[in-house]
């Protein structure tokens, strides 16, 4: 009896929501058909939309226009040089103080051993990101790149977030341009997209006041792109940010992409609260994660690729994301430490065969790519 009454009460509300969603998605579809750019207002309305399947359908159309039936992956290997960090952001479970249990910093020999392990395992890209170590000099990072380049001449070196690059300017007293140029000359090929978190100054002041702010993050990327270094971009969502702040983050990236064209892919990263100072916050839901993928695909009209990062989403949801606008499952990864410190229950790596199976099962053609999205092999 109670259930029946409850259902009756819910019906008009749900019907109203459906009507609003139908109208919104029709308007958005019209705009997309006329190749009109979506506005901040559109973004906010989409974030509020309850018709996840309708959203996914629109995002999938854009994905198909951009990359057809292809879904990409790459063979990569993660190296985290150190977890000792001066920043200690509230959302991070990876950073440590020097004397904490588990604190480490790799020697150059250890880095090379790790890199060799990755390359022998078939990696075509080394993804190197780390904490902001209080004492390691800039020369250490330059040597990491120089030695990896010397030992593995054909491997793609994707290293150092914009936050790390900014930190290098502080420890080296060099300009942004000089830091990036020095690393490029040592063999750096591109930059990952981390450290963007959410650009809102309100959020950054509360959660990560000790590292590069949003203007600086964008400035690092602008400079890297001007030197011919491509990069990715991320957003860490699902903590204290508002939906407006998420949309503003996407718009800031879209503006910079208009200017430089240097971003390759956007990667929405759901926040993992476990073992962080924000552990009371609940993990985002599957509904929210899929909506974020779809809205990102719709707003970021000048990004070619939206990545479903299986390490943070989990493999089942990353696979479903392929029907909500994502066209890339990232890579084999092999040794992920950062999200696992925050309680990720996914494996630390995945095989190429498994990635191919996941993509095929979702109805797409698996394509192995290099870091710059050159096609290496199509698995018809």
* In the complex, minimum distance from the CB of residue 104 to ligand SF4, in angstroms, rounded to a whole number: 13
Q: Does 92 bind ligand SF4 (CB under 6 A)?
A: yes
State in angstroms the smallest separation of the CB of 195 from ligand SF4.
7
- Applying CB under 6 A, the site for ligand SF4 has a residue count of 12
Residues 6+ apart with CB under 8 A from 320: 286, 290, 362
Burial (CB count within 10 angstroms: exposed 0-12, middle 13-18, buried 19+), residue 99: exposed
Give the dihedral sign, CA 216/214/318/64. Answer: negative
Choose which of 49, 131, 186, 295 interacts with ligand SF4 (CB under 6 A). 131
Q: Strand 190-191 vs strand 76-79: parallel, antiparallel, or unpaired?
A: unpaired
Instruction: Please state whether beta strands 365-369 and 328-331 pair in parallel, antiparallel, or not at all (unpaired).
Output: unpaired
Q: What are phi and psi of 115, to 5 degrees?
A: -60, -40
Q: For ligand SF4, give the closer residue by CB, 279 or 377.
A: 279
Of the candidates 24, 25, 47, 132, which one interacts with ligand SF4 according to CB under 6 A?
132
3-state class (DSSP) for residue 3:
helix
Q: In what order do the strands lie in the sheet with 263-270?
A: 76-79, 125-128, 156-159, 190-191, 230-237, 263-270, 305-306
CA distance 268 to 252: 14
Choose which of 95, 187, 193, 366 interacts with ligand SF4 (CB under 6 A). Answer: 95
Residue 85 in contact with ligand SF4, rule: CB under 6 A:
yes
Please pick, from the candidates 70, 146, 211, 297, the single residue that binds ligand SF4 as defined by CB under 6 A. 211
Stretch 38-77: interaction string toward ligand SF4, x if CB under 6 A: ----------------------------------------
The three-class DSSP label of residue 371 is coil
- CB-nearer residue toward ligand SF4: 94 or 364: 94
Q: Using the rule CB under 6 A, is 94 a contact of ligand SF4? A: yes
Which tokens sit at 13? Answer: 């509300």
Query: Do 325 and 306 meet the contact criterion of CB atoms below 8 Å apart?
Result: yes
- Residue 87 binds ligand SF4, judged by CB under 6 A: yes
Is 277 an interacting residue with respect to ligand SF4 (CB under 6 A)?
no
Task: Tell me the C-alpha distance between 288 and 271, whole Å.
Answer: 12
Site string for ligand SF4, 111-130 (x = CB under 6 A): --------------------
Q: Which of 55, 131 has the CB closer to ligand SF4?
A: 131
Of the candidates 88, 184, 337, 357, which one interacts with ligand SF4 according to CB under 6 A?
Answer: 88
262 lines the binding site for ligand SF4 (CB under 6 A): no
CA distance 19 to 215: 40
Shortest reach from residue 273's CB to ligand SF4, in Å:
14
| Site membership for ligand SF4, residue 311 (CB under 6 A) | no
Q: Whole-number minimum distance, CB 139 to ligand SF4, in Å?
A: 20
Q: For residue 322, give the 3-state DSSP assignment.
A: coil
Dist. CA 127–CA 190, nearest whole Å = 10
Among positions 329-358, residues that touch ligand SF4 (CB under 6 A) are: none
Closest approach, Cβ 253 to ligand SF4, in A, equals 19
* Measured distance CA(73)–CA(328) in Å, rounded: 6
* Residue among 166, 162, 105, 93 at smallest CA distance from 133: 105
Name which of 94 and 152 has its Cβ closer to ligand SF4.
94
* Distance separating alpha carbons of residues 249 and 53, to the nearest angstrom: 24
Does the protein bind ligand SF4 through residue 89 (CB under 6 A)? Answer: yes
Rounded least distance, CB 179 to ligand SF4, Å: 17
Q: Which of residues 157-196 bind ligand SF4 (CB under 6 A)?
A: 163
Per CB under 6 A, 273 contacts ligand SF4: no
Specify whether the backbone of 74 is left (phi greater than 0), alpha (psi in -120 to 50) or beta: beta
Quick count: other Cβ atoms within 10 Å of Cβ 113?
12
Decide if residue 141 touches ligand SF4 (CB under 6 A): no
Give min distance, CB of 128 to ligand SF4, in A.
13
Does 206 interact with ligand SF4 (rule: CB under 6 A)? no
Q: For residue 203, how far is the Cα from the chain centroid?
A: 18
Question: Where on the chain is the footprint of ligand SF4 (CB under 6 A)?
Answer: 85, 87-89, 92, 94-95, 131-132, 163, 208, 211
């Amino acid at each position: 009896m109670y259930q029946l009454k409850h259902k009756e009460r819910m019906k008009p509300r749900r019907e109203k929501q459906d009507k609003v969603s139908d109208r919104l998605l029709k308007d958005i579809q019209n705009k997309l058909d006329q190749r009109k750019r979506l506005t901040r207002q559109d973004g906010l309305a989409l974030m509020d939309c309850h018709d996840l399947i309708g959203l996914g359908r629109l995002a999938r159309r854009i994905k198909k226009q951009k990359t057809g039936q292809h879904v990409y992956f790459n063979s990569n290997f993660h190296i985290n040089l150190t977890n000792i960090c001066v920043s200690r952001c509230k959302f991070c479970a990876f950073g440590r103080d020097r004397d904490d249990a588990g604190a480490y910093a790799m020697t150059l020999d250890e880095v090379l051993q790790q890199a060799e392990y990755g390359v022998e395992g078939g990696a075509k890209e080394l993804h190197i990101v780390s904490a902001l170590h209080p004492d390691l000099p800039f020369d250490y990072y330059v040597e990491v790149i120089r030695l990896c380049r010397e030992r593995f001449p054909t491997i793609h070196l994707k290293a150092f977030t914009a936050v790390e690059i900014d930190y290098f300017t502080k420890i080296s007293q060099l300009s942004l341009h000089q830091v990036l140029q020095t690393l490029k000359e040592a063999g750096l090929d591109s930059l990952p997209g981390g450290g963007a978190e959410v650009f809102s100054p309100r959020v950054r002041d509360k959660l990560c006041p000790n590292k590069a702010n949003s203007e600086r993050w964008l400035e690092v990327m602008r400079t890297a792109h001007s030197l011919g270094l491509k990069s990715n971009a991320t957003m860490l969502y699902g903590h204290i940010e508002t939906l407006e702040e998420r949309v503003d983050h996407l718009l800031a990236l879209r503006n910079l992409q208009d200017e430089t064209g240097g971003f390759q892919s956007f990667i929405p990263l759901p926040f993992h609260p476990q073992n962080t100072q924000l552990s009371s916050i609940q993990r985002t839901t599957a509904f929210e994660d899929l909506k974020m993928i779809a809205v990102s695909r719709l707003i970021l009209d000048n990004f070619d690729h939206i990545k479903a990062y299986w390490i943070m989403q989990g493999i089942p949801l990353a696979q479903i994301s392929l029907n909500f606008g994502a066209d890339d499952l990232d890579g084999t990864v092999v040794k992920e430490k950062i999200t696992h410190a925050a309680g990720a229950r996914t494996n630390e790596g995945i095989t190429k065969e498994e990635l191919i199976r996941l993509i095929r099962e979702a109805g797409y053609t698996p394509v192995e790519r290099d870091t710059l999205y050159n096609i290496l092999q199509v698995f018809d």
